[in-house]
Chain A
Amino acid sequence: KQEVTQIPAALSVPEGENLVLNCSFTDSAIYNLQWFRQDPGKGLTSLLLIQSSQREQTSGRLNASLDKSSGRSTLYIAASQPGDSATYLCAVMGQNFVFGPGTRLSVLP
């Protein structure tokens, strides 16, 4: 059974800092990994999709990497802004998504 963990559970940083969010999964037989952000009470917004054959993906200030063999992914956020404050979820796709518990990020002005 696939299990996904995320570290840290919560993170508070001053504006402008670069930061790294970590995701680990137990079963490397995945089709892809997707990072989402969720604002309070809202749905999920897709940030980055990394296919199983890829090592990383970039979008603007976001960069995500995937190491299937070790069961790890990282989301790198450069030059953080208060608008980045949200919960970040990683999800691995097998027959369905299995989600991690999320990292709650607060970026302070």
Chain B
Amino acid sequence: KAGVTQTPRYLIKTRGQQVTLSCSPISGHRSVSWYQQTPGQGLQFLFEYFSETQRNKGNFPGRFSGRQFSNSRSEMNVSTLELGDSALYLCASSANGGGRGNTEAFFGQGTRLTVV
């Protein structure tokens, strides 16, 4: 059974550019959540998508957006990149996701974004 796949693994972008990250969940999982990990703030929740709908959103500016496709694959977009957006972006796949009870979450290897 394939795990959670995130692409690309590494990205280097310039301030002001935009970037799109992709996450393919485990087959059959309908929930995809995104997290940002930085040395200073740790792991912080960005948003969750379930069956193509954003179900929950963290406290990040509108420059961070996402979407989910009918095959449950999800993309995250960051526009007008800032130096502080440099981080490891992780996505989590689960059958039911947050607020839906007791299902295990599985994480991808992450995308390391560096903004210069």
Pick the residue among A32, A45, A53, A97 that contacts B35 (CB under 8 A). A97
Nearest CB in chain A to that of B44: its residue: A99
Query: Which residues on A sit within 8 Å (CB–CB) of B101?
Result: 31-32
Q: B66 within 8 Å of A by Cβ?
A: no
Q: Which of B43, B45, B109, B112 has the most CB of A within 10 A?
A: B43
Q: A43 contacts B99, CB within 8 Å? A: no
Q: B99 contacts A31, CB within 8 Å? A: yes
Give residues of chain B (10-25) contacting chain A, Cβ–Cβ below 8 Å. none
CA of A43 to CA of B3 in the docked complex: distance in angstroms? 12
Query: Which residues on B sit within 8 Å (CB–CB) of A32?
Result: 101-102
Interface string of B25-63 (1 = CB under 8 A from A): 000000001010000001101001000000010100000
Give residues of chain A (2-60) contacting chain B, Cβ–Cβ below 8 Å. 31-32, 34, 36, 41-46, 49, 51-53
Query: Which residues on A sit within 8 Å (CB–CB) of B106?
Result: 46
Q: A82 within 8 Å of B by Cβ?
A: no
The interface on chain A, measured as residues whose beta carbon lies within 8 A of the other chain's beta carbons, has a size of 26
Q: B98 contacts A101, CB within 8 Å? A: no
Q: A42 contacts B109, CB within 8 Å? A: yes
Pick the residue among B35, B90, B100, B105 that contacts A34 (CB under 8 A). B105
CA of A93 to CA of B102 in the docked complex: distance in angstroms? 9
Q: A97 contacts B98, CB within 8 Å? A: yes
Please report A residues at the B interface, Cβ cutoff 8 Å.
31-32, 34, 36, 41-46, 49, 51-53, 89, 91, 93-102
Please report B residues at the A interface, Cβ cutoff 8 Å.
4, 6, 33, 35, 42-43, 45, 48, 56, 58, 88, 90, 92, 98-102, 104-110, 112
- List 4 other contacts, CB 8 Å, given A96-B33, A96-B99, A99-B35: A41-B88, A43-B108, A93-B105, A97-B33
